[in-house]
Amino acid sequence: MIPRLFVSDPLGPNHRVVLDHDRTHYLKNVMRRSLGDEVGLFNGRDGEWLGAIESYGRAGAWLLVTTMRRPQMAGPDIWLAFAPVKRARIDLIAEKATEMGVSVMLPVMTRRAEPSRVNIERLTNIAIEAAEQTERLDIPEIREALTFDRLIAGWPPERILFVCAEAGAAEPIAEAVMSRKGRSACFLIGPEGGFAPAELDALRKLPFVVPVGLGPRLLRAETAAIVALACWQALAGDGATPESRPPFRGEFVS
Amino acid sequence: MIPRLFVSDPLGPNHRVVLDHDRTHYLKNVMRRSLGDEVGLFNGRDGEWLGAIESYGRAGAWLLVTTMRRPQMAGPDIWLAFAPVKRARIDLIAEKATEMGVSVMLPVMTRRAEPSRVNIERLTNIAIEAAEQTERLDIPEIREALTFDRLIAGWPPERILFVCAEAGAAEPIAEAVMSRKGRSACFLIGPEGGFAPAELDALRKLPFVVPVGLGPRLLRAETAAIVALACWQALAGDGATPESRPPFRGEFVS
């Protein structure tokens, strides 16, 4: 298995990249890679490249970029808006949404959201690690938290806002997604106590809102996010064709 | 919000139920419920009942069962077989599979599974807590771990075994599930390193096995479990109709 690392530097033949302390430690002490060993590198712009470890120094590890492994491809255009929840659960949302191929994450302060500050830097680091493991070519953009009112006031009207509502009328998720295939979309997941009645009222009046139901069981926020995104990816996203497979697992085919 | 608790005692009008120490603590000190307050009770057999707190004593809390809240209904018949992974992740699998309505969980020792013992009691407690929160009427059955060879040797041939394979040919999950609607099924999730080539070989030769693909990203075991079950519930399970909603969220409808 070749370790994959996200970097911010440009990638191209004979470029050199220096890794920070944490990544150097990971490569040297956790993955036990030696000089000359190969590493996968991606930056969200230039595709995925192979790099060879040239040196381990005080500043970090130096890598020489050699050959392209995969060209850059745009991921699916699917957003996730979510109300902040307790720390362990919000970390899970960042990790899982990244695994599920989300392009943009929007923390939204609904009335019943946990009041704590959203640490965008921590969530971004979690997303980077998840992107490395999940074989994505990019990392999701995690935007600053905004209020519920600002979210709906500034909403791009051509983008469907699927509201995962636990109460009231809603289209079943599969039907809702299949009948709007090809449209740009975002899922909105409420906080643990659900949306406030006034919020649900406001949402249901908006032309771009489609309330969707995720079945008869109450789901935790991170589970709801995965369920909604799983159905979207399988029915309208990039999981619908037989060719849609993780790229680097050929070695396990017998 | 009325707290819901799983009990093993029979439930019926004027039955009395005593809660153990942990549940008593939860009710009294976490949920701060007083004498006379209502609690939802279910045991997987008699439906969901309301009970009133009669007394808090040394042995625990005594509840008087009053009226039926929901009749017992069978949940969907969907199994999950999974290779044991690290403790935090296996706990997540038990929690998430319960939220996703799984009826039976089967830990399977594949070649690359984590070798540690599977603690069925801990996983069952996690499943009970998840069932209480997710408004299920039953708890999933968590079976003792068995080897990969015993799993396939003793497999009930009428039950489809959807193998979530990261490598090799596979049907996209949505197509695989939709074309086998109405069949009893189980999803098999491999360990972190994937199935061994010999295991994939053996699986692909079995008439009841259908390899399914979950899209182009590598998923962690618990994410793969939710994705597979989400697609199954939305397309072939109990999430496909507009009436399929959590039962006790009417209070949030405006």
Amino acid sitting at position A141 = E
Q: Which of B85, B218, B222, B229 to mutate to test the interface with A (most CBs of A within 10 A)?
A: B218
Instruction: Find the residue in A nearest to B239 (Cα).
Output: A215
Beta strands at B61-70 and B48-56: parallel, antiparallel or unpaired: antiparallel
Nearest partner of A195 among A132, A125, A108, A134, judged by Cα: A108
pLDDT attached to residue B98: 98
A246 vs B166: CB contact, 8 Å cut-off? yes
pLDDT band at B40 (very low <50, low <70, confident <90, very high): very high
Percent of chain B with pLDDT over 70: 98
Q: Which of B181, B187, B195, B226 to mutate to test the interface with A (most CBs of A within 10 A)?
A: B226
CA of B207, closest CA in chain A: separation in Å? 18
| CATH for the B78-235 domain, from 3.40.1280.10, 1.20.58.340, 3.30.1510.10, 3.40.50.1470 | 3.40.1280.10
Residue B31 above 90 pLDDT? yes
Instruction: Please list, in sequence order, all residues whose beta carbon lies within 8 angstroms of the beta carbon of residue A115, skipping any fewer than 6 positions away.
Output: none
CA of B203, closest CA in chain A: separation in Å? 11
Mean pLDDT of chain B: 93
Percent of chain A with pLDDT over 70: 98
pLDDT attached to residue B250: 53
CA of A250, closest CA in chain B: separation in Å? 6
pLDDT band at B252 (very low <50, low <70, confident <90, very high): very low
* Chain segment B197-231, per-residue pLDDT in tens: 899 999 999 999 999 999 999 999 999 999 999 99
- Alpha-carbon distances of A201 from A112, A151, A165, B173, rounded to whole Å: 15, 15, 11, 35
* Chain segment B105-116, per-residue pLDDT in tens: 999 999 988 777
Q: What share of chain A is helix, strand, coil (3-state, %, to 5)?
A: 30, 25, 45
Residues carrying CATH 2.40.240.20, chain A: 4-70
- Chain A residues inside the 8 Å CB shell of B247: 216
Percent of chain A with pLDDT over 90: 81
Q: Would you give the distance in Å from CA A107 to the centre of its chain?
A: 13
- On whether the CB atoms of residues A13 and A67 are closer than 8 A, the answer is yes
Residue B124 in tokens:
């069952």
CATH class, A4-70 region: mainly beta
Mean pLDDT value of segment A180-208:
93
Residue A252 above 60 pLDDT? no
Q: Is the ipTM of this complex over 0.90?
A: yes
* Chain segment A37-82, per-residue pLDDT in tens: 999 999 999 999 999 999 998 889 999 999 999 999 988 999 999 9
DSSP conformation class of A62:
E
pLDDT attached to residue A192: 83
Residues carrying CATH 3.40.1280.10, chain B: 78-235
